Amino acid sequence: MTEQRVHLSKTEPAAYQALDAFSKTVGTICAENGIDDRLKEIVMIHCSQLNGCSYCTRIHVDRAVAAGLDVDTISQIAVWRESGVFSDRERAALELAEAFTFIAEDGISDDVYDLVGSVFTEKEYAALSWACVSINAFNRIVIAGRYPVPPRGTQAGA
């Protein structure tokens, strides 16, 4: 993908800055409501994978490593249903991430809502929901703009 596209964050920086501020608020909400960085980054990676956003996937894999996730756990996110490495909380969060990412298909079904509600408090559910909203918004901006993801050795500033 070498085609240049409008870079929304550069063309209309005020809107991007507002989204970035929203994302920081969501991070605070997560931290204040019992969603640690490990769990938040698992959700961010999975939404980005589902959307096909390599740029955000890379960013959140880096953040996941900083939050203490190991390579094995990170590599299992895409196949979490078949993997035994995730806790009940992580599995519920991954389920919610999928529901939010594909919300146009079924909304948040009663089954998903009940499952997630049986594992998380209302505040935790809200925090994870806002995290899903935030990353899905970023994924759409980045995918539409075809932000490049060069090899690590030659990575330039985006």
Residue matched to tokens 């509600």: 117
**pLDDT tens per residue, range 7-63:** 888 899 999 999 999 999 999 999 999 999 999 999 999 999 999 999 999 999 999
**78: its two tokens:** 């895409």
For residues 71, 65, 22, 4, the Cα torsion angle rounded to the nearest 10 degrees is -70
Residue labelled with tokens 């809502």: 113
- Inter-residue contact 9 to 25 (CB < 8 Å): no
Mean pLDDT is lowest, of 72-81, 87-96, 136-145, 147-156, for 147-156
Tell me the whole-structure pTM to 2 decimals: 0.91
Model confidence at 2, in pLDDT bands (50, 70, 90)?
Answer: low
Helix, strand or coil for residue 130?
Answer: helix
- Mean pLDDT value of segment 74-84: 97
pLDDT at residue number 154: 57
CB neighbours of 148 closer than 8 A, spacing ≥ 6?
A: 1, 55, 158
